[in-house]
Amino acid sequence: MSWKTRVTRFSRVTKATIFVCMVALPLIGGSSAKAFTLLPGNPKWPNAQACYIVDAGTMSSTEANLVSTALQNWNGAGGTSWLFFFGSSCGNHIKKAALSSSDCSNGVLARTSQSYSGSTMLGYTVTINNNCGTAWYEGQFSYIPSNYMDFTSVARHELGHGIGLCHSGVNGRLMYRLLSTGTAYGIDTDARNALAYLYGSTSANPEGSCYP
């Protein structure tokens, strides 16, 4: 049996750059941008569930709690029975670690590796970048400052990849490849439709495979 591994990256931009990207975003196949896309073959987790473990010592207790919030946000979304559950011996890791200097130069906030075989998801690893001096919003203010990245939103996005989702082609969506500073992103309609397509029921269909 062969298996494949794909690594996705999530970057940051300023709100001004978001606007430019929105204007310049190319149309795909002459139609509107892709609302949600999935890995080739639409692989999914057996029984609509996947374990997780947060690597001890790689993030603060506050960050671990925010990751827990992001995990809970996905559970049951889209009217599905989807479940992230803790497993002490789980092979699916969530951690903060240093990415490459080129990732820092490109504003990469996090990377997620996805492993799958045919129609079955096998594993994922979420790595949130800790070496680029990112100003993370972790609830320390009553609002998200315009130059801060929302830590929980980044965790939600990366966990979407862990489920089996690829990037949205629609600017401003949770699964879009760029995140604006000063903004929180929840489990939006496109993300719920993607989850329901894999693990529930929806009239929405993926608009192609794995939008980069």
CA dist., res. 138 & res. 135, Å (int): 9
Tens digits of residue pLDDT in 177-204: 898 999 999 999 999 999 999 999 888 8
Closest to 5 (Cα-Cα) out of 161, 128, 174: 161
Cβ proximity of 69 and 152 under 8 Å = yes
Q: Residue 1 is which amino acid?
A: M
- Non-local (6+) Cβ contacts of 95 within 8 A are 54, 55, 58, 59, 125, 126, 127, 128
Domain 4-22+35-199 of CATH type 2.60.120.260? no
Cβ proximity of 194 and 22 under 8 Å = no
Q: Which residues pair with 7 in a beta bridge?
A: 113
Closest to 52 (Cα-Cα) out of 21, 92, 25, 81: 92
The mean pLDDT values, 10 residues at a time, for the chain of 212 residues are: 46 31 26 74 96 96 97 97 97 96 90 95 96 93 96 98 93 92 96 95 83 71
The pLDDT value recorded for residue 16 is 26
The pTM score is 0.86
Strand pairing class (136-137; 178-180): unpaired
